[in-house]
Chains A and B, each alone.
Chain A
Amino acid sequence: MSALTDLRELIDRRAVIGQFVAAELRSGHRDKLLGNLWQLIDPLALMLVYYVVWSLVLGRRPPDFMAYILSGIITFQMFQGSVIGSSGILRGQARLIREVYFPKASLPTAIAIARLYDFIWALFALGMVLIWLLYKQAHWVPGPGMPPIKHPLAFGWNALWLPAAAALLFTFSLGFSYVFAVAGALFRDTPNILQFVFRMWFYLSPMFYYGDEKTVLRHRLFHLFYRVNPFTHLFRMVRNSLIYDRPPTLDGTVYVAAVALGTLVFGFWLFSRCESAVVKQL
């Protein structure tokens, strides 16, 4: 019941969220003249790192390989950035929290929105890379012993599914951010644990399992995780719409939507329940 009151208050005071988002983006100097350029350069630089590393490790690969990896990375980054940012936000704003009353949930909400904003810019950056990769694909000659292109890159109307994928990603990230905003305020070792969890989760998600994903995961336990991991389906949604021009699958979308909504409801409920304990502990 009180979670509903808190939710109504959060919506009433959405101007506060807007100000926190602005502050979050501003403190990264992102509203400056070069700021928007940085929005593109940041993800491009990240992609360059992975491109260099993976072409060193694996040698020459078909063009869709890069697009496959990069789309996964920026998707996971949105989630990770939001949760890690939220885990420190209540501690970081402790003085403000002790000074005035406002809906505390606006803090993690603002972090998630700021990371969503970053994600949208990263998608633009990926779009630029995609143009180059499409060009490369058109002139692709497979080397000796290299498989032909299995999933050709394509860009088309199915890109219109991206907002839906982004909405589900945001919903899931927001719910998780509420949970870890509370955990981060109550427990001092949350960042250490999160770092471990996220590294594990990152590598267990189909980020690099290019090709036949299921045969890469030989162990039964990994296979189970592969199936329940929301990122398996979120990645597929993002990739299908942006780089393969395919519609999303129904069962995957329904599953992710259920998990995302469940996480959000649970996260907000937990946050609202722990709020007053958190304020006392700060």
Chain B
Amino acid sequence: MPPNASPSTVEPGFELNDVWLKFRVRYHRPRTLRGVVVGGALRTLKRRIIADASSGRPPDGDVPFWALRGITLSAGPGDVIGIIGANGAGKSTFLQVVARIMKPDRGTATVRGSIGTLLSFGAGFNPELTGRENVFLNGAILGLAQADIRERLQAITELADIGDFFDAPVSTYSSGMRARLGFSVAVHVNPDVLLIDEVVQAGDAFFQKKAGNVLDQFRGEKKVIAIVTHSPLVVTEYCTRAIWLDHGEIRLDGSPKEVTSEYTAWSDARAQAAKAAPTAAAP
């Protein structure tokens, strides 16, 4: 492993304290500048003419949607947390809050140590630039100095295993290659807190093996890892702790075995119900 990017004196970890986060869901057209200017003028006019009878609907047709509802959680050195839950349970949003990408609307989120993120298969790469140029760009974004990146270039290419494509534009990469390069860069930043969204499953068996080794090594170095996954296998194999998110709330927090079996049972029950529903309606 490369030398530490930022030799931290603090124990790595993160704390979420009653975190709430909402999105505004728009069922109608996207918001326009013209709409705001003209619509705003019209609304004030209307309000002057008729006392605005509240329709119970928020203006503009915006509906707030709470993606996270009162998440309280703390993680410390050596924790590998597997996060599972149905689609739309708030798993990715949870990682984005820990990564400081989104600010909670209520509550606080604090992180100790440097953060590395791998949230979307290396989708942040600039497709027009080569893999090498992207490594420098991403390295800088993740907080590495040019010299540090140059030092680690060899190790990055080795783990990513993309051969001559390293000097080709990223637009020519397969999704697996892109994910591998993204994983490799994120890992070689050597963060104290590593956040992963569904990426370990990308790539072939060989890459998964290598990625697993890296995770084991991070755990040994007392770093903190949070992985969002749909695979119970990943949770039981790599994680020291598991969290089941449901509709933005923590439904269960415990050992990987316990949480995955509960979650699997719940999912199976839902699948059964979904299967039963149409047949029940048929006769």
Residues of chain A having any CB pair with chain B under 8 Å: 13, 15-16, 18-20, 22-23, 26-27, 93, 95-102, 183, 186-190, 193, 276, 279-281
Q: Taking the complex as formed, is B96 at the interface, i.e. its CB lies under 8 A from any CB of chain A?
A: yes
Check if A193 sits within 8 Å of B99, measured CB to CB.
Answer: no
Complex: A101 Cα to B103 Cα, angstroms: 11
Measured as residues with beta carbon below 8 angstroms from the partner, the interface class of chain B is 35 or more
Check if B143 sits within 8 Å of A279, measured CB to CB.
Answer: no
Check if B141 sits within 8 Å of A16, measured CB to CB.
Answer: yes
Q: Taking the complex as formed, is B120 at the interface, i.e. its CB lies under 8 A from any CB of chain A?
A: yes
Taking the closest CB of chain A, its distance from the CB of B245, in whole angstroms, is: 18
Taking the closest CB of chain A, its distance from the CB of B134, in whole angstroms, is: 9
Complex: A52 Cα to B30 Cα, angstroms: 43
Contacts of B101 in A (CB 8 A): 97-101, 279
Sorted nearest first, the 10 A-B pairs with minimum C-beta distance are A96-B124, A187-B33, A99-B124, A19-B140, A189-B32, A95-B123, A27-B128, A101-B100, A276-B103, A188-B30
Summarize A's interface: helix, strand, loop or mixed: helix
Check if B34 sits within 8 Å of A189, measured CB to CB.
Answer: yes
Check if A190 sits within 8 Å of B33, measured CB to CB.
Answer: yes
Q: Which of B31, B120, B137 has the most CB of A within 10 A?
A: B137
Residues of chain B having any CB pair with chain A under 8 Å: 23-24, 30-36, 96, 99-103, 115, 117-120, 123-124, 126, 128-129, 133, 136-138, 140-143, 145-146
Complex: A222 Cα to B96 Cα, angstroms: 50
Check if A26 sits within 8 Å of B129, measured CB to CB.
Answer: yes
Complex: A19 Cα to B126 Cα, angstroms: 12
Contacts of A19 in B (CB 8 A): 136-137, 140-141
Specify which of A15, A96, A99, A188 is in contact with B32 (CB 8 Å cutoff): A188
Complex: A98 Cα to B138 Cα, angstroms: 13
Contacts of A23 in B (CB 8 A): 126, 129, 133, 137
Check if A100 sits within 8 Å of B117, measured CB to CB.
Answer: yes
Q: Give the nearest-CB partner of B92 in chain A.
A: A98
Given A98-B119, A279-B102 in contact, is the A27-B140 Cβ separation under 8 Å?
no
Check if B145 sits within 8 Å of A27, measured CB to CB.
Answer: no
> Given known contacts A97-B101, A99-B120, what 17 new A-B pairs fall within 8 Å (CB)?
A16-B140, A19-B137, A23-B126, A27-B129, A93-B124, A96-B126, A99-B124, A100-B124, A101-B101, A101-B117, A102-B141, A187-B35, A189-B35, A276-B102, A279-B101, A280-B23, A281-B24
Complex: A27 Cα to B123 Cα, angstroms: 17
Check if A100 sits within 8 Å of B140, measured CB to CB.
Answer: no
Check if A101 sits within 8 Å of B99, measured CB to CB.
Answer: yes
Complex: A99 Cα to B138 Cα, angstroms: 11
Specify which of A27, A98, A189, A279 is in contact with B120 (CB 8 Å cutoff): A98
Contacts of A96 in B (CB 8 A): 123-124, 126, 141
Contacts of A101 in B (CB 8 A): 99-101, 115, 117
